[in-house]
Amino acid sequence: MSEFLSEEASDRETHRSLLGTLCGFSFTGLLALVALPGDLKNRALPIWYILVSFVSYLGALNLQGYKSHRWHDQIGDALTETASLGLIASVIGFIVSSDLALGFRIFASVLSGAVWLFDFSIRFRYSRDFLRAKEQQEHGKV
């Protein structure tokens, strides 16, 4: 985890442009939820999730400025995953609290969560397999 990343592996500019866009999206969503007329208590949970998303994307974006070690990359990935989970959780929060048909609310919530979990599982597995292979290579087991 303490190894230095190559310039190609860190790919700061690509990550910064993507994270900047997603951070702006979360920021806009947060402001919209707070600025909408009506009782904020009804939107408290989605506002919290969008706030977590915004702060996590902002943290990951800032981390790109000095990312040089593998552990920086892992923290950035964790922040990005937390941010995307916050976005999905806010959508699920709105769906669950809506007056839509119960069957639709359940289906849409499960589908939203399943899509995030599927993507997260794949990313986690690739990352785990990569780090295991590096560990075996460093210990001469390959």
pLDDT digits (tens, 9 = 90+) for 27-54: 999 999 999 898 888 889 999 999 999 9
Contacts of residue 56, defined as CB under 8 A and 6 or more positions apart, other chains included, come to 79, 80, 82, 83, 86
Domain membership flag for residue 31:
yes
More confident residue, 16 or 122: 122
Residue 9 in this model has a pLDDT that exceeds 70: no
**What's the domain count of the chain?**
1
Give 11's pLDDT tier (boundaries 50, 70, 90): low
Domain membership of residue 69 as a residue range: 7-138
Query: Is residue 125 domain-resident?
Result: yes
Give the per-residue pLDDT at 76.
86
105, part of any domain: yes
- Residue 7 in this model has a pLDDT that exceeds 60: no
**Total-model pTM:** 0.80
Q: What is the token pair recorded at 61?
A: 């974006």
Residue 47 lies in a domain: yes
